[in-house]
Amino acid sequence: MTASKSSRARNARAQRAQGAQGAQANAARNGSTAARGNGTGASVTAGSQPRAVAARGGPDRRVSRGPALTADAIAEEPASTTVPLWMQLTTFALALAGLGVSIYLTIAHFTEAPLAGCSESGLVNCTKVTTSPQSYVFGIPVAVLGLAFYVAAVVLMSPWAWRSARREIYLIRLASLVIGIGFVLYLLYAELFIIGSICLYCTSVHAITFVLFLLTVFAAAAWGFPERQRG
């Protein structure tokens, strides 16, 4: 009876020991599985961050903005004319010469003084031209209109105006010369077919205007206008 009880006690202790070992083994296996699970999750998270950033387009947007900003900066830079210096100085000198003759004609008109060195008979007759009804346009003396035209021409033909990046200056310059050459053609018609005489001073102004017209048209065709600036 005693031997039977002791054997049952040994068996019970052995079973408890085996159960404890099994529990420890299960706990160890569960811990290693959790550790592996955490490592995989971290690696997935770490690997997914670059893809997520790329999906949001963060780095791509920063790279793509570089060229766009560069293009905008270039577009906003003022355009500069490529008209050569000889063209600038030639047109400016011609405009000054036209202004000088226009001033003299205006003074002679209001003082009624004879023009120096100009014939008073035959085809060349300055007095006949400057005192004719055609010497007024809309009640304004032609000499005064010529003076106003060449005051503006000196400004528009100056090197500073040629170097300007404002497109409007180029358009105004060309438009004023188109109007000026049209006025010259009318005056030539009046002198040759209505008055029957010509004025040497008036003809010199007409010739200067014609040369300025040719040079301005040539400059527009050869070098163009500055680009329109953004508002």
pLDDT in tens, 7-29: 565 666 666 666 656 556 565 56
Q: What is the pLDDT of residue 52?
A: 42
Q: What is the pLDDT of residue 61?
A: 45
Highest mean pLDDT among 55-69, 106-120, 183-197: 183-197
Q: What is the pLDDT of residue 196?
A: 94
Q: What is the pLDDT of residue 117?
A: 87
Whether the per-residue pLDDT at 37 is higher than 60: the answer is no
Q: What is the pLDDT of residue 120?
A: 79
Model confidence pLDDT, tens digit, residues 107-149: 999 998 889 988 877 889 999 999 999 999 999 999 999 999 9
Whether the per-residue pLDDT at 227 is higher than 60: the answer is yes
Q: What is the pLDDT of residue 139?
A: 94
Cβ 32 vs Cβ 25: under 8 Å: no
Q: 199 pLDDT band (50/70/90 cuts)? A: very high
User: CA 61 to CA 31: how far, in whole Å?
Assistant: 44
* Global model pTM greater than 0.85: no
Model confidence pLDDT, tens digit, residues 144-181: 999 999 999 999 999 999 999 999 999 999 999 999 99
Query: 23-37, 49-63, 80-94, 105-119 — which is least confidently predicted?
Result: 49-63
> What is the identity of the amino acid at 144?
V
Instruction: With CA atoms as reference, report the closest residue to 213 among 170, 171, 181, 172.
Output: 181
Instruction: With CA atoms as reference, report the closest residue to 171 among 214, 226, 101.
Output: 226
Instruction: With CA atoms as reference, report the closest residue to 110 among 139, 130, 129.
Output: 130
Q: Name residue, tokens 């793509």.
A: 64
196 three-class SS: coil
Q: What is the pLDDT of residue 35?
A: 45
Highest mean pLDDT among 10-24, 53-67, 176-190: 176-190
Whether the per-residue pLDDT at 79 is higher than 50: the answer is no
List Cα–Cα distances, 76 to 120, 167, 228, 230, in angstroms.
60, 14, 10, 7
Q: 228 pLDDT band (50/70/90 cuts)? A: confident
Whether the per-residue pLDDT at 80 is higher than 90: the answer is no
